[in-house]
């Protein structure tokens, strides 16, 4: 018997089931509760228990947790430019510790030559 469990994650039920299926589990349930633990029992069936139950506490204390990979959700960030007045003061990138050469490499814009700074909207 595999002594591993996965915490329920809202909206990621299919990934939870697929991970346990890949480990040899067989299922008849749908994983969709974020307050449950999902695991493979001694009969190789995928089972779940409430995380805050006595059995859930035992599993958390004694078994290894399988973590789903983190999801990356890109965010749209809009920059606008201002005419350079006093060096790079106020530039978003400079405030993040990024110099003009790096901005040029990433964006292909030489802010020094164009005499602009980037501000976040």
Spatial CA neighbour of 37 closest among 46, 48, 28 = 48
In 39-119, where does DSSP find H-type helix? 54-62, 92-95, 100-107, 111-114
- pTM, two decimals, is 0.59
Percent of the chain at pLDDT > 70 equals: 86
Position 4 confidence tier, pLDDT thresholds 50, 70, 90: very high
Query: Tokens for 8?
Result: 């329920």
Mean residue pLDDT of the chain comes to 82
> What phi and psi, each to the nearest 5 degrees, are found at residue 62?
-110, -20
Provide the pLDDT for residue 27: 76
pLDDT (mean) for 86-93: 71
């Amino acid at each position: 018997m595999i002594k591993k469990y996965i915490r329920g994650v809202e909206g990621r039920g299919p990934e939870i089931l697929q991970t346990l299926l890949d480990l040899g589990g067989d299922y008849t349930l749908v994983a969709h509760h974020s307050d449950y633990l999902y695991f493979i029992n001694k009969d190789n069936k995928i089972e779940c228990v409430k995380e805050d139950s006595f059995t859930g506490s035992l599993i958390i204390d004694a078994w290894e947790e399988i973590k789903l990979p983190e999801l990356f959700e890109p965010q749209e960030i809009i920059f606008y430019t201002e005419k350079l007045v006093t060096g790079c003061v106020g530039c978003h990138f400079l405030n993040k510790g990024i110099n003009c050469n790096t901005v040029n490499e990433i964006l292909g814009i030489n802010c020094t030559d164009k005499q602009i700074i980037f501000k976040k909207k």
